[in-house]
Amino acid sequence: MEALTSAGITATSTDSFGPTAIDVPPESWVAAHEVLRDAVGFTFFDFLSASDELTDGFRVVSHLADFWGGSHVEHVLVRTLVPRDKAVLPTLSEVYAGANWHERETFEMFGISFEGHPNLITLLLPDEFEGHPLRKEFVLASRVAKPWPGAKEPGESDHAPTGAPSRRRTLPPGVPDPETWGPRPPGSPDPDPLAAAQAAATPARPRRAGAGGERRARRQSPPPTPSPDPTPEDPGAGGQSGDESGELS
């Protein structure tokens, strides 16, 4: 952080579940990596990828490492946030040669362009493929076009008897409601491409709570009423008692 601040780069450090994460603005993306490589010693480039943050844009992250002190390794994550309508970053391929492959994959999967990249072309998908599969608005059309194998609801099997009971049909994950996706009549307004992803990110049903946010107590049935004990028979009241031999006393 001190090296970045001394170079005039606005950066914030965030504790994560793994290495320390450093957030920098997009305009300082390349300069921050140059400082971390030359002034701090993070000479090893591990990977670069991104995550879809919906309306906030795309968060691009790189992982750097520094080997020193024998087997000791120091790690750091460098992150930046680019807007969704202008997902562009300068390339790191001239700072770290290993970024070339990872930027091509991120461009292909998220649609993030890297200015100055020497060969920003498709890497994994066929040339005729349309869309960016790791964007959250990308619809897995194969789940709509053919049955979901092995996941039919009771009563929906091809071998189920006629009139078998069935539950309400549910759409497979990744398939939005037909009203928000798919072919539309001419003149219809275009649906919001993020509507299905935002709906999936919202909890479907909040937990029930009683007054003051406390969980409602479970109803308990009243305890059973004990039956009266039977009155013991008085052996001296009009009865006869005998010993084990059956003789009268």
Q: Is the pLDDT of residue 91 over 80?
A: yes
Instruction: Examine residue 118 and state whether it is found in any structural domain, yes or no.
Output: yes
- Rounded to whole angstroms, the Cα distance separating 82 from 182 reads 28
Q: What is the pLDDT of residue 173?
A: 57
Average pLDDT on 168-188 reads 63
- The answer to whether 142 touches 131, Cβ cutoff 8 Å, is no
Eight-class DSSP state of 145:
H
Domain contains 39: yes
> Over the chain, what is the mean pLDDT?
77
Cα 192 to the chain's mean position, in Å? 21
Return the pLDDT at 15.
Answer: 77
Q: What is the pLDDT of residue 130?
A: 86
Region 2-30: mean pLDDT is 90
- Residue 161 belongs to a domain: no
- Under the banding of pLDDT at 50, 70 and 90, the label for residue 200 is low
Average pLDDT over residues 119-135: 90
- Asked whether the predicted pLDDT for residue 160 surpasses 60, the reply is no
Per the domain annotation, does 224 fall within a domain? Answer: no
Give the pLDDT score at 183.
63
State the CATH number of the domain containing residue 97: 3.30.460.80
Q: Is residue 206 scored above 70 in pLDDT?
A: no
What is the arithmetic mean of pLDDT over 26-53?
95
pLDDT on residue 29: 97
Decide if pLDDT at 244 tops 80: no
Q: With bands split at pLDDT 50, 70 and 90, how would you rate the model's confidence at 156?
A: low
Residue 173 domain-assigned? Answer: no
Query: Residue 111: inside a domain, yes or no?
Result: yes
Question: pLDDT at position 230, please?
Answer: 58
244 domain-assigned: no
Out of 88-92, 123-127, 166-170, the most confident range is 88-92
- Residue for token digits 């562009």? 88
Domain of 88 in residue numbering reads as 1-148
Confirm whether 121 is domain-assigned.
yes
Is residue 249's pLDDT more than 60?
A: no
Q: What pLDDT, on a 0 to 100 scale, did the predictor assign at position 219?
A: 60
**166-173: average pLDDT:** 53
- Average the pLDDT over each of 26-35, 53-62, 67-76, 228-237 and give the range with the smallest value: 228-237
Tally of domains in the chain = 1
Looking at mean pLDDT, say which of 83-97, 193-207, 222-236 comes out highest: 83-97
pTM comes to 0.64
Rounded to an integer, the average pLDDT of 157-175 is 52
Q: How many helices (H) and strands (E) does the chain have?
A: 5, 7
Report the C-alpha gap between 120 and 107 in whole angstroms: 8
| Cα 202 to Cα 224: distance, rounded to the nearest angstrom | 45
